[in-house]
Amino acid sequence: MSAARDHAEVSTLLSQVGELVDRVVAVGDRYRDTADSAVAADLDTAEQSLRNAGRILERALGALGGRPRA
């Protein structure tokens, strides 16, 4: 596999992680001030993990020759 192809794959993964973060936040917000607020807390943890995964993917993208996003 070429570095260019891997760069494209990691870039796509990074975009998908960003979309997942948005979706997790949206669901968590619906439960934030309810009797099921524990759901929001769990989703907040998932959001943090996804954001960390995004940072790691950005580093990998940089190592493949891309510029990390801010």
- pLDDT tens, residue by residue, 32-70: 999 999 999 999 999 999 999 999 999 999 999 855 444
Categorize the per-residue pLDDT at 2 as very low, low, confident or very high, splitting at 50, 70 and 90: confident
* Cα separation, 39 vs 29, whole angstroms: 10
Let me know: does 14 contact 57? Beta carbons within 8 Å: yes
* Cα separation, 26 vs 12, whole angstroms: 21
How much is the pTM? 0.85
pLDDT in tens, 3-30: 889 999 999 999 999 999 999 999 999 9
What DSSP state is assigned to residue 32? T
* Cα separation, 34 vs 40, whole angstroms: 9
Residue 70 has what pLDDT? 42
